[in-house]
């Protein structure tokens, strides 16, 4: 009998990439491959890259070198956002056999069937303007919580961002397809689904399916009726797309968790303008206020960028004070870094890198305090936790409905169960 071919994946970047890797893995399993850990020997190695990480190029080279040392005869495929943005640079890395752009990554099986270890890498990629298809993907690793992609691409043009160049125009799945995928996940034992996309609030915008007239509120209204899933979360939503109706709907829903992640990026209106964001700080504060009025217990996460070109001390302090005053629960703090072909490169004056890191640290400290205060506010309350870890040794972790992380020594009977938990 022929030995099964083996494939190992390595993912860089966001949850969207993880969900896509997961789907690529299932696709190749269906074509007869067996999955291995990246540290093991495999016939094919796939690196799913990110354009947002600072050292995409360095990381990719490092991984390819690692593979070459360990398995010089194995095939090396590089895909993902960085592969779409810089296919030639990646193809020039010694050891790379195939570079797959945004449109081609889900045809990986066909490409592998035609590939053999050769001298020069093959590139299969097209201009990002031509990418229009939508492929739903989901992560299914732990069988507890799954990240389901329902939207891809972005039509905004934030001046610091390369994602639209790497992922193309905004497009999404149809609600009937999402329902089918959610039901399938529910039947497989998944209890919680995190709806994922690049610009999730834009769901349903593109008439890819001719005359599509769906939107995000319609999506969550439909999903709320699916009984096999206990919990849904919205991974992240732009403040200008987070409507009163969506907030009110989540406030009434039993299945959509009281948890919002809303990018702010800056607390200075001038910087928001230079970033080409589509809201002002006042709108952001209103959104938070409405969430708090309807769901005092909701978790609210914030993305913020420090060191954007032209950000003065005064403007950074504006961001600090704005966040300090806002009743939010935690931040993800990003240090601005220059990206090729973005408008922000032409803006200035440039903030010295050391100062960017200092500002990052200041906001991370504030986030730490906010997050502790948020947990302390719920001390003594009993909330439902979905326990996730399936490792029979060590610690088991889970999240409350309002996204407080808890941990406890492993108890098999608690795995993938909603347990009443007293916050302490
Ligand atoms: S909304 Fe802005 S930051 Fe987010 S993906 Fe689109 S362009 Fe990038």
Distance CA 264, CA 303 (A): 6
Asked whether the beta carbons of 73 and 115 are under 8 A apart, the reply is: no
CB of 237 sitting under 6 A from ligand 1: no
- Residue 422: beta bridge partners? 382
Distance CA 149, CA 158 (A): 22
CB of 200 sitting under 6 A from ligand 1: no
Number of CB atoms found within 10 A of residue 11's CB: 21
CB of 154 sitting under 6 A from ligand 1: yes
- Which of 118 and 18 is assigned the larger pLDDT? 18
- Helix H or strand E encompassing 46: strand 44-49
CB of 161 sitting under 6 A from ligand 1: yes
> For residue 105, which of 38, 180, 168, 185 has the smallest C-alpha distance?
168
Distance CA 67, CA 78 (A): 12
Report field, pTM of the whole predicted structure over 0.85: yes
> What distance in angstroms lies between residue 277's CA and the mean position of ligand 1's atoms?
9
- Residue 408: beta bridge partners? 396
Task: Write down the H helix ranges in 33-117.
Answer: 56-70, 81-85, 87-91, 108-113
Interval 94-151: pLDDT, tens: 999 999 998 899 999 999 998 888 778 899 888 878 888 898 998 876 679 999 999 9
CB of 163 sitting under 6 A from ligand 1: yes
Identify which of 16, 155, 161, 304 to mutate to test ligand 1's pocket (most ligand atoms within 8 A of the CB).
Answer: 161
Exposed e or buried b per residue across 192-214, where buried means at least 16 C-beta atoms within 10 angstroms of its C-beta: bbbbbbbbbbbbbbbebeeebeb
The pLDDT assigned to 127 comes to 83
Q: Which numbered atom of ligand 1 lies nearest the CA of 265?
A: 3
How big is the chain, counted in residues? Answer: 424
394: left (phi over 0), alpha (psi -120 to 50) or beta: left
> What distance in angstroms lies between residue 97's CA and the mean position of ligand 1's atoms?
31
CB of 156 sitting under 6 A from ligand 1: yes
Distance CA 30, CA 45 (A): 17
> What distance in angstroms lies between residue 263's CA and the mean position of ligand 1's atoms?
10
- Residues 6 or more apart in contact with residue 299 via CB below 8 angstroms: 258, 259, 260, 329, 330, 374, 402, 403, 404
CA 69 to chain centre: 31
Handedness of CA 101, 102, 108, 113 (dihedral sign): negative
Per-residue confidence at 213, pLDDT binned at 50, 70, 90? confident
CB of 199 sitting under 6 A from ligand 1: yes
> For residue 355, which of 384, 315, 326, 394 has the smallest C-alpha distance?
315
Interval 144-198: pLDDT, tens: 999 999 999 999 999 999 999 999 999 999 999 999 999 999 999 999 999 999 9
Interval 53-102: pLDDT, tens: 777 778 898 999 999 999 999 999 999 999 999 999 999 999 999 999 98
> What distance in angstroms lies between residue 183's CA and the mean position of ligand 1's atoms?
30
DSSP secondary-structure letter at 202?
G
Say which range, 39-43, 209-213, 248-252, 329-333, has the weakest mean pLDDT. 209-213
The pLDDT assigned to 2 comes to 67
The pLDDT assigned to 3 comes to 79
Number of CB atoms found within 10 A of residue 345's CB: 14
DSSP secondary-structure letter at 389?
-
Asked whether the beta carbons of 61 and 40 are under 8 A apart, the reply is: no
pLDDT at 205 over 80: no
Residue recorded with tokens 């966040």: 323
Calculate ∠ Cα 140-143-147, nearest 5°.
45
The pLDDT assigned to 51 comes to 80
Q: Which numbered atom of ligand 1 lies nearest the CA of 155?
A: 6
Give the chain's end-to-end CA distance (angstroms, integer). Answer: 57
CB of 162 sitting under 6 A from ligand 1: no
Cis, peptide link before residue 402, omega less than 30° from 0: no
CB of 239 sitting under 6 A from ligand 1: no
């Amino acid at each position: 009998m022929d030995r099964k071919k083996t494939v190992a994946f390595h993912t860089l970047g966001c949850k969207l990439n993880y969900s896509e890797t997961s789907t690529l893995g299932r696709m190749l399993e269906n074509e007869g491959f067996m999955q291995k850990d990246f540290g093991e020997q495999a016939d094919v190695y796939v690196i799913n890259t990110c354009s947002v990480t600072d050292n995409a190029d360095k990381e990719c080279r490092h991984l390819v070198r690692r593979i070459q040392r360990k398995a010089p005869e194995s095939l090396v495929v590089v895909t993902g956002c960085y592969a779409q943005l810089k296919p030639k640079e990646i193809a020039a890395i010694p050891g790379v056999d195939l570079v797959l752009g945004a449109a081609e990554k889900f045809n990986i099986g066909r490409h592998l069937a035609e590939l053999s270890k050769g001298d020069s890498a093959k590139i299969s990629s097209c201009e990002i303007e031509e990418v229009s298809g939508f492929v739903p993907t989901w992560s299914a690793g732990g069988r507890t919580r799954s990240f389901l992609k329902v939207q891809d691409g972005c039509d905004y043009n934030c001046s610091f961002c390369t994602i639209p160049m790497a992922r193309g125009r905004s497009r999404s799945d149809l609600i009937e397809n999402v329902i089918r995928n959610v039901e399938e996940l529910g039947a497989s034992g998944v209890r919680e689904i995190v709806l994922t996309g690049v610009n999730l609030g834009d769901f349903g915008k593109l008439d890819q399916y001719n005359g599509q007239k769906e939107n995000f509120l319609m999506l969550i209204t439909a999903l709320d009726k699916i009984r096999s899933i206990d919990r849904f979360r919205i991974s992240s939503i732009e403040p200008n797309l987070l409507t009163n109706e969506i907030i009110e709907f989540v406030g009434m829903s039993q299945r959509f968790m009281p948890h919002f992640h809303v990018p702010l990026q800056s607390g200075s209106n001038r910087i928001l303008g230079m970033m080409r964001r589509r809201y002002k700080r006042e709108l952001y504060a209103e959104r938070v206020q409405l969430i708090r009025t309807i769901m005092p217990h909701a978790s609210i996460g914030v993305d913020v960028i420090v060191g954007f070109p032209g950000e003065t001390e005064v403007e950074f302090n504006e961001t600090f004070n704005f966040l300090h005053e806002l009743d939010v629960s935690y931040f993800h703090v990003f240090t601005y870094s220059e990206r090729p072909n973005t408008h922000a490169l032409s803006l200035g004056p440039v903030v010295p890198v050391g100062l960017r890191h200092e500002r990052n640290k200041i906001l991370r400290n504030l986030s730490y305090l906010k997050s502790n205060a948020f947990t302390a506010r719920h001390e003594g309350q009993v909330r439902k936790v979905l326990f996730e870890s399936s490792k029979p040794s060590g610690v088991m972790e889970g999240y409350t409905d309002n996204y407080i992380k808890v941990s406890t020594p492993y108890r098999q009977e608690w795995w993938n169960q909603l347990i009443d938990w007293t916050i302490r």
